[in-house]
Amino acid sequence: MPASTIQLKSRVLIGAVATLAGPKESQGPLKKHFNKALRDDLLGLTSYELAESKIHESAIRYLLNKTNYMPQDIDLCIAGDLTDELYATNFAMRTLEIPFVGSFGACATYGAAIALAARIIDASVFKQRIICSVSSHFSTAERQFRFPLELGTQRTPLAQWTVTGAGAMLINKTEGRIRIESVTFGRVVDWGVKDANNMGGAMAPAAMNTMIRHFKDTRRQPRYYDLIITGDLGHTGALLLKQLMYERSYDLDQTNYTDCGVLIFDRETQKVEQGGSGPACSALVFNAYVYKKLLEGSIGRVLLVTTGALISKTSCLQKQSIPAIAHAVSFERI
């Protein structure tokens, strides 16, 4: 049986990252770390989808500016978001002349894109560069997956708050001090959770599945990593993951384990119930916070496990359970 974790053969490096955070995210605990904080989440446009698209595009443009690359210098962009048919991403890519493949993996998209890009760059000549980018927007997600915003529906205790923002990463072979060491693609796992407001519960088994495969394939213990960070399980989902892992003899309490959904908002003051979600959640927290800690050297090895609840409103209305997926990427300071 092939190992499901691939260790990269060459140095695949993070060239640079960019983050654009929405108004609520910019008031949270990580407010100092974002490249750009938006004051208005509609940006004067006529729809939230167009606003999300603009945010996505701006994150990529910010990354290009930062690195002094032109769109023509980029070989491929692997990108996605939560909107149906990737409305936000596709429209963002209209204005950028970059070859593009759309990826959908719900909130796990960032990890999937990085893992694909890393494997392609591993095989590439030196000048090749791939951008991975994701976006999400509270107002596009809420009305797509749940209720019209105008209804003012009461949120349930297990709900999460979709992060507004976008994150982008340049992956290349020549520049950077953080390398992508290995990747573990996720499998779809479905333990029968049917509550569309309990995404943490749906995703925790998928995170466990990917993490355990990663640890077994690499013969590592969780403590190998200075930080293990899941995408957006939220407070209760993260507890559930710890419990599931503990039952299988992996004690995350003995490690520096946390969750992007937990970190991005202040639960006490920001009324987000379980924390943040959306593809931008892990992208903002990784790019703005974890990457910075890696660069500073306060941590050296990180396992990012982005998690996605593969929920559709159609499958929900048809009373189906929620499949979930998680992709793991191991980063190392060099």
What does the binding site for a second copy look like in residue numbers (CB under 8 A)?
A: 1-2, 4, 6, 9, 46-47, 49-50, 72-76, 80, 82-87, 90-91, 93-94, 96-106, 112, 115-116, 119-120, 122-124, 127-129, 144, 184-190, 310-315, 318, 320, 323, 325, 327
Close Cβ partners of 249 (under 8 Å, ≥ 6 residues apart): none
Can you read off the two tokens belonging to residue 292?
A: 């910075």
For residues 229 and 259, the answer to whether their CB atoms sit within 8 Å is yes
Q: Least Å distance between CB 130 and a second copy?
A: 10
For residues 89 and 57, the answer to whether their CB atoms sit within 8 Å is no
What length does the chain have? Answer: 334
Residue 246 corresponds to which amino acid? Answer: Y
Q: Least Å distance between CB 277 and a second copy?
A: 14
Residue 124 phi, psi (nearest 5): -95, 165
Choose among 184, 182, 179: nearest CA to 11.
Answer: 179
Cα torsion 176, 178, 179, 183: sign: negative
CA 227 to chain centre: 16
For residues 162 and 136, the answer to whether their CB atoms sit within 8 Å is yes
Q: Least Å distance between CB 111 and a second copy?
A: 10
* Cβ proximity to a second copy, 30 vs 115, nearer residue: 115
Q: Least Å distance between CB 61 and a second copy?
A: 15
Residue 285, classed as helix, strand or coil, is: helix
* Cβ proximity to a second copy, 197 vs 315, nearer residue: 315
* Cβ proximity to a second copy, 258 vs 320, nearer residue: 320
Q: Least Å distance between CB 44 and a second copy?
A: 15
Q: How far apart are CA 178 and CA 14, in angstroms?
A: 6
Q: Least Å distance between CB 318 and a second copy?
A: 5
- DSSP-derived letter for residue 29 is T
Q: Least Å distance between CB 121 and a second copy?
A: 9
Q: How far apart are CA 282 and CA 29, in angstroms?
A: 14
Q: How far apart are CA 228 and CA 208, in angstroms?
A: 12
Angle (CA) 328-276-273 rounded to 5° is 130
Residue 179, classed as helix, strand or coil, is: strand
* Cβ proximity to a second copy, 21 vs 55, nearer residue: 55
Q: Least Å distance between CB 38 and a second copy?
A: 21
* Cβ proximity to a second copy, 77 vs 233, nearer residue: 77
* Cβ proximity to a second copy, 30 vs 325, nearer residue: 325
* Cβ proximity to a second copy, 256 vs 320, nearer residue: 320
Q: Least Å distance between CB 297 and a second copy?
A: 30
Can you read off the two tokens belonging to residue 297?
A: 């050297």
* Cβ proximity to a second copy, 75 vs 273, nearer residue: 75
* Cβ proximity to a second copy, 59 vs 93, nearer residue: 93
